[in-house]
Structure 1
Amino acid sequence: MTTPRRPVAPARRSSGLTLLELLIALAITGVTVALAFATYGVIGRTEQRAQDTMTRTEHMQSVQDWLQRKLEGIRLISRTEQGGVVLFFNGNPAGALWVAPLPERGPGGGLHVIRVALDRRADGSVDWIAQALPFEGAGMVLEWAAAIRTPLARDLRTLQWYYQDGKSGEWVQEWPSTRPYYPSRIRIEVADAQGPWPACS
């Protein structure tokens, strides 16, 4: 005779998580949080790079606009130099000198002698600056130590000025004041530590 078997009751399952399930859930949560923070970091760096690029572009545009206005405002003025009459304009590969109005200077506005050139700093880096002296006539002495100085760009790597001869069409890098006429166009190539600027002409 066989004894009837009693049905075996299923094992009672606890209603909580096992230790293994809890560890897996914590690991997944940790990875998700780490990915979220990494994503926010990438977004933040990308946004900062975009802001830096926009700031640099705006600065380059404002410098180019200022130079274009001042070069378009060149006044046809002669001066005496070593007993001869020469134009109040000369240029070389690193900059130029001319007379133009500076109305944005308020009460000190009017015609100014403008010189755009390089300025070497004590640490060896080179800045691009504009200097302005009030125009006092053809015989004025150019005292650049007293000039208004405006920085245009810092830490330049390349600066090349080109002057187009309107008669021959040739581009040259030297325009002496002894030439009896002004260049028809000027082109400036600039690069700083962050790279080249758009060509200005």
Structure 2
Amino acid sequence: MDHMEALQVCTMTHSFRKTSRGFTLLELLVALAVTSAVVALMFAGVGVIGRSEERNQRVIERSERMLVVSQWLGRKFDTLRLLSRRDENIFVNFFSGNAAGAIWVAPLPERGDAGGLYVFRMSPLRHADGRVDLSVEAVPYDGALMALDWGKALRETLLSDVRTLQWHYQDGLTGQWTQQWDSAKAQYPARIRVEIADARGDWPPLVFPLARAR
């Protein structure tokens, strides 16, 4: 009897140990599965955060480009000089524009001691690979009889990889907008609107009032 009880107890103990080992393995597998899922979620979260940061950085850089272009043009149009130049036998306004860009006179204090009045020309710069940049050229203004030698101009790229570039000029008398402003007109435009698009789409229109032209 004692032998049978001992055998029974031994069998139960052995069975219990087997069961205990089975539950421990199952718990380990579950823990590993949960850990793997958590790690996967963490990496996925890091990827989402990384992509979000990249998108945010691109948005910030694009906004900065818009601000730089807008502020630069704004300063140059705010200080536009109402000057005339001789064109053959007549004097015309030192301002003209079309759908691609404009020409006007304004100071260039960024040049320091070499600053003073400059004739600016904004126009698209087309590359052999099809890319288009918004380019600014400047030559020193030396009076109404000056010859515009753009071969000696200072050149800078104001904006790279432009997809759309349209200039508009508002007649202060009629309020109408046009894409052609001839230097022979009796007055300057009241406002200038520049429409730009880059690889990510259209910019908000840039509108500049010409206070000195009123």
TM-score (normalised: structure 1): 0.91
The alpha-carbon deviation at position 134 of structure 1 amounts to 1.0
Residue 32 (str. 1) matches residue 11 (str. 2): no
Match for 1:64: what amino acid? Answer: S
The alpha-carbon deviation at position 166 of structure 1 amounts to 0.7
Stretch moving more, 66-75 or 135-144: 135-144
Partner of 2:189: 183
Query: 2:44, 2:153 → 1: CA distance?
Result: 51
Q: In structure 2, which of residues 3, 6, 16 is the aligned counterpart of residue 12 of structure 1?
A: 16
Q: How does 1:66-105 map to 2 (within 5 A)?
A: 66-105=72-111
Partner of 1:114: 120
Q: Deviations over 1:27-56 (max 9, x none)?
A: 322221121011011101101111111111
Query: 1:105, 1:52 → 2: CA distance?
Result: 31
Query: Tell me, what secondary structure is at the counterpart of 2:163?
Result: strand
Query: 2:148, 2:172 → 1: CA distance?
Result: 28
> Alpha carbon RMSD of aligned pairs, Å?
2.0
Query: 2:37, 2:16 → 1: CA distance?
Result: 33
Partner of 2:132: 126
Corresponding pairs, count: 199
Query: Tell me, what secondary structure is at the counterpart of 1:114?
Result: strand
Partner of 2:211: none
Query: Tell me, what secondary structure is at the counterpart of 2:66?
Result: helix
Query: 1:195, 1:6 → 2: CA distance?
Result: 87
In percent, how many aligned pairs have the same letter? 51
Partner of 1:64: 70
Where is the helix percentage greater, Structure 1 or Structure 2? Answer: 2
TM-score (normalised: structure 2): 0.86
